[in-house]
Amino acid sequence: MEACDSATPLNSLSERGEDQLRPLLADVFLDPTGVTEPAAIAAQAFESGHCTLIFQAPLPDQALWLRFTVVNDHGSEKQWFVAFMEFIFDEVILFEQQPDGLINLSRNGRTVPLPERVNTEVKTGFPLTVGPGEEKTFYLRIQGTFAPTITPVIMSSYLFTGWSTLTLVMTALFLGYVGAIAIISLVLFQHIEARFYQYYALYMLCLFVFSFIYDGWLSNFVGVTLPVTVMSPIREFMAGLGVFANIQYCRVLLRIDAGTPGLRRLFLVLSGIAVVTTGLAVVDPWGLSLPLHLAFFACPLVLLGVAFKRIYDGLPQAKFVFGSLLALTSGLSIAVYSFVFPIEITQAAVAYDLIVMRPLTWGYYLAVMGETTFMMLAISTMVNALHKQRHTAVVEVQALRRDAIAAQDQHAESLKTASARIEALEASLIESPQKSLQSPAEQRFVESATRCVLEHLGEQGFGARELAAALGTSEKTLGRRLKEACGLAPAAFIRSVRLTFARDLILLRQRNTIAEIAHAAGFSNVGHFAKLYRREFGQTPSESFRSTKTVD
Q: What are the Cα distances from residue 436, in Å, to 429, 484, 486, 488, 496?
A: 10, 13, 10, 16, 18
Q: What is the pLDDT of residue 425?
A: 53
At a CB cut-off of 8 Å and minimum separation 6, what does 304 contact? 322, 325, 326, 329
pLDDT of residue 279: 94
Predicted pLDDT of residue 66: 92
Selection from 172-181, 234-243, 472-481, 489-498 with the highest mean pLDDT: 234-243
In angstroms, rounded to a whole number, what is the distance separating the alpha carbons of residues 17 and 350? 9
pLDDT at 392: 78
pLDDT, tens digit, 9 for 90 and up, residues 529-550: 888 888 888 888 888 777 766 5
Cα–Cα dist 540/529, whole Å: 10
Neighbour tally for 373: CB within 10 Å: 16
- Arithmetic mean of pLDDT, 153-174: 85
- Cβ pair 262, 302 in contact under 8 A: no
Q: Provide the pLDDT for residue 436.
A: 43
| Mean pLDDT within 435-450 | 71
Instruction: Give the residue with greater pLDDT, 409 vs 143.
Output: 143
Is the predicted pLDDT of residue 351 greater than 80, yes or no? no
Pick the CATH number of 432-551 from 2.40.40.20, 3.90.730.10, 1.25.60.10, 1.10.10.60: 1.10.10.60
Long-range contacts of 316-323 (CB under 8 A, 24+ apart): 316/381, 316/382, 316/385, 317/253, 317/254, 317/378, 317/379, 317/381, 317/382, 317/385, 318/254, 320/374, 320/375, 320/377, 320/378, 320/381, 321/250, 321/253, 321/254, 321/374, 321/375, 321/378, 323/374, 323/377
Q: Which residue has the higher pLDDT, 186 or 111?
A: 111
Cα Rg of the chain, angstroms: 49
Write down the pLDDT at residue 30: 92
- Give 271 or 423, the one with higher predicted confidence: 271
Mean pLDDT for 165-175 is 84
> Could you give the residue ranges of the DSSP H alpha helices within 157-260?
157-189, 195-214, 217-220, 228-253
Q: Name which of 94-108, 223-237, 246-260 the model is least confident about.
A: 246-260
Would the CA dihedral through 110, 113, 117, 119 be positive or negative? positive
Can you give the pLDDT at residue 176? 85
Lowest mean pLDDT among 78-82, 376-380, 395-399, 493-497: 376-380
Average pLDDT over residues 53-77: 89
Q: Does the structure show a pLDDT above 50 at 1?
A: no
What's the average model confidence in pLDDT over 100-108?
90
CB atoms within 10 A of CB 281: 26
In this structure, which amino acid lies at residue 529?
Answer: F
Percent of the chain whose pLDDT exceeds 70: 86
pLDDT tens digits along 5-42? 555 678 888 888 777 888 888 999 999 988 888 888 88
CA 484 → CA 47, 174, 499, distances in Å? 140, 109, 21
Q: Which residues contact 457 (CB under 8 A, 6 or more apart)?
A: 498, 501, 520, 521, 522
Segment 181-204, tens digit of pLDDT: 777 777 766 655 556 667 877 888
CA atoms within 13 A on the CB side of 105: 20
Q: Which residue did the predictor score with more confidence, 374 or 534? A: 534
Q: What is the separation of C-alpha 268 from the centre of its chain, rounded to a whole number of angstroms?
A: 15
Name, in order, each residue with C-beta under 8 angstroms of 498's C-beta and a sequence gap of 6 or more. 453, 457, 521, 522, 523
Contact indicator for 267, 256 with CB cutoff of 8 Å: yes
Q: Please state, in angstroms and rounded to a whole number, the distance separating the CA atoms of residues 544 and 533.
A: 10
Mean pLDDT of the chain: 80
% helix / strand / coil in the chain, to the nearest 5? 60, 15, 25
Q: Cα–Cα–Cα angle for 67, 68, 70, nearest 5°? A: 155
Same fold for the pair 2-155 and 432-551: no
Euclidean distance between CA atoms 106 and 118, whole angstroms: 6
CA atoms of 68 and 226, how far apart (whole Å): 29
* Separation between Cα atoms, residue 82 and residue 70, nearest integer Å: 10
| Region 60-70 average pLDDT | 91
Q: What pLDDT, on a 0 to 100 scale, did the predictor assign at position 547?
A: 73
**Class of the CATH domain delimited by 161-397:** mainly alpha
| Burial class of residue 349 (count of CB atoms within 10 Å of its CB; 0-12, 13-18, 19+) | middle
Give the model's pLDDT for residue 14: 82
SS3 per residue for 462-478: CCHHHHHHHHCCCHHHH
121 pLDDT more than 70: yes
What confidence tier does 269 reach under pLDDT thresholds 50, 70, 90? very high
State the pLDDT confidence band at 4, using cuts at 50, 70 and 90. low
Which run of H or of E encompasses 17? Answer: none
**pLDDT category of residue 347 using cuts at 50, 70 and 90:** low
HSE of 208, CA atoms in CB hemisphere, 13 A:
15
Answer for the pair 132, 74: CB distance below 8 angstroms, yes or no: yes
State the fold for domain 2-155.
Immunoglobulin-like (2.60.40)
- Give the per-residue pLDDT at 434: 47
Residue predicted with more confidence, 32 or 394: 32
- Angle, to 10 degrees, between the axis of helix 526-537 and the axis of helix 490-508? 90
Structural domain spans, the chain: 2-155, 161-397, 432-551
Alpha-carbon torsion angle 485, 486, 487, 490, nearest 10: -90
